[in-house]
């Protein structure tokens, strides 16, 4: 049984969102969602900006040579590539060390995950457990490359996707989504894609708000965190 089916059976709240009956549909939904994204990011700026500066200082103190931000090309809506921002959580030469530790990879390639990854710094481990390393992606939301809720953007190019997986590129990627509240990084890519497609088929403002609210306990419990 696919994870998408399991999610529907165990979480009937997803089925309650019928896009054909939603108040905002089509471009009106996209406009309303963009307005919600901007309002949430801008109104919360007095909270997250000082926190971001404090965390950036901690990154610099522990590892001053590598810079504060880690930027990487990610795949967004319609396969468009964009530059994603994260607080740096690894040693400066982490990408070069990936080949060295490839044999420890716990997920199917092109995903890459190692429990207790030796490339991660002490501050970086805290940032990953709490998902605070994702905080700079609020800037990606302001730029319009991302939304607050949507499929997580992948680092690998659209050509890596199989035909059935391309549907996840129909919407903007997000800071959080269904798979983050269901299993986070413990899920294989195919399972995450099925959850992304489930979201796309049911997406509406009500579902977006539900996912956003349920993200908070998922992050606090550190369930499936890398």
pLDDT value of position 192: 87
CB 141 within 8 A of CB 148: yes
pLDDT value of position 5: 47
pLDDT value of position 223: 56
Strand extents, DSSP E, 34-137: 69-75, 81-87
CB 195 within 8 A of CB 158: no
Instruction: For CA atoms 199, 131, 56, 82, give the dihedral sign.
Output: negative
Tens digits of pLDDT across the chain (226 residues): 444 444 445 566 776 677 777 777 888 999 999 999 999 999 999 999 999 999 999 999 998 888 899 999 999 999 999 999 999 998 887 777 777 787 777 677 667 777 788 888 999 999 998 889 999 999 999 999 999 999 999 988 888 899 999 999 999 999 999 888 876 556 778 888 988 998 999 899 999 999 999 998 888 776 555 5
Contact partners, residue 144, CB within 8 Å, separation at least 6:
34
Of 1, 176, 145, nearest to 78 by C-alpha is 145
Of 140, 38, 128, 149, nearest to 84 by C-alpha is 140
Q: Quick one: how many helices (H) and strands (E) in the chain?
A: 9, 4
pLDDT value of position 146: 98
CB 125 within 8 A of CB 90: no
CB 214 within 8 A of CB 186: no
Q: Maximum Cα–Cα distance for the chain, whole Å? A: 53
Where helices occur in 117-225 by DSSP H, the ranges are 122-130, 137-143, 178-182, 189-202, 205-220
């Amino acid at each position: 049984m696919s994870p998408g089916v399991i999610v529907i059976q165990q979480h009937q709240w997803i089925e309650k969102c019928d896009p054909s009956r939603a108040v905002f549909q089509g471009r009106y939904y996209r406009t309303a969602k963009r307005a919600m994204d901007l309002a949430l990011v801008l109104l919360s700026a007095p909270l997250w900006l000082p926190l971001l500066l404090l965390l950036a200082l901690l990154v610099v103190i522990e590892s001053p040579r590598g810079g504060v931000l880690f930027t990487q090309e990610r795949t967004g809506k319609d396969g468009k590539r964009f530059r994603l921002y994260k607080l740096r959580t690894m040693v400066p030469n982490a990408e070069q060390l990936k080949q060295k530790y490839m044999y420890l990879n716990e997920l199917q390639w092109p995903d890459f995950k190692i429990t207790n990854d030796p490339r991660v710094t002490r501050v970086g481990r805290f940032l990953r457990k709490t998902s605070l390393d994702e905080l700079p992606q609020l800037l990606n939301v302001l730029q319009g490359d991302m939304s607050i809720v949507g499929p997580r953007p992948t680092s690998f190019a659209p050509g890596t996707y199989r035909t059935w997986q391309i549907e996840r590129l129909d919407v903007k990627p997000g800071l959080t989504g269904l798979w983050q509240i269901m299993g986070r990084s413990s899920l294989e890519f195919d399972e995450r894609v099925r959850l992304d497609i489930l979201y796309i088929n049911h997406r509406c403002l009500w579902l977006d708000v539900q996912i956003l609210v349920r993200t908070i306990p998922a992050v606090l419990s550190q369930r499936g965190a890398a």
